Structure 1
Amino acid sequence: MSDDPKSPGAIARGWWRANLGARESAAARALAARLRRAAPMAALCEPAVMELARALHMGPGRADSLVRLVCLLAEVREEDAATLARRLGGSDPTMSPLRFQRLMRAEGDELITLLRRAVGMADRRCNVAALAQDLLYWEEARPRWCFHYFGADAPRDDLKESVK
């Protein structure tokens, strides 16, 4: 993920910090609780969610991605340097390889349910910016999650250029 402060992941991390990250705040706890329980339309009716949509330049065509993003960010309680996939895997995985395979194959509501469980299994801690970036571009992120889960670095795109 890029360190660009205007990247979608960085924007979502800033939103998370301002709206959900400070759990000592009653407003943050209340918003997180509403988002964790929200139906898609209820999540979209939250003013803070629309603030994030504007910051990310997301319109109605990406509403499903926005709802998935905010509902899963509401599950995260603490930032960590490690990505969610790294926290789940490694030499002594928190999530079994079979469960991880199921997560990688999941779509729609099943994907959201399994991702929520994954955040819980990771003690509700992960790299918020990386999670946000991956959720917004899930299809591109899936292969990287496999590398991270098994403790390897994903191949860099610039390696493809040097091979040609």
Structure 2
Amino acid sequence: MTRLRHLLTASTVVAASLLTAVLATTPAEAAGKSWGKLYARDDSGKLARAYGDFANNGGVYATVGANWDDLRRSDHNPVYVEAEFFFLKNGMWESAGTTQTPRTDTSASGSMSRKLRHDAHGARAVIKVCVDRAHWSDICSPQAVVSFSY
């Protein structure tokens, strides 16, 4: 009976430590950092909107979650979100490339990711929403910049 009691006590300690580890997850790992609402505009007003978050996805990926809307669907110029990823290595931010979401003339959501670098200790995303215009320069929002340490 004493041996069973020690076994139950040990398993209770393990379960409690696992629960503590789950509850101690930082907000950046759990839900991500919001990058707010971005708007692409021209002289006539808002053309596109996007919002979302940037997160440490399981200690494996830096992930931008995005929701984007074409606010002028009748102009036939689709909307997309663009993110450039950076990693902090030796005190300097190094680019890891740019990614774009699929273009749409409605509303959409999705994610873009880069694998975390083992030789870095921070991740950053520079994000904007843009209107794709076939024969003109794209119209883009101001950039949102979000970072986390790992």
Would you call these one fold, judging by a TM-score over 0.5? no
Bigger strand share: 2
Which structure has more helix as a fraction of its residues?
1
Instruction: Choose 1 or 2 for highest CA Rg.
Output: 2
TM-score scaled to structure 1, two decimals? Answer: 0.24
Larger relative contact order (Cα-Cα within 8 Å, sequence gap ≥ 6): 1
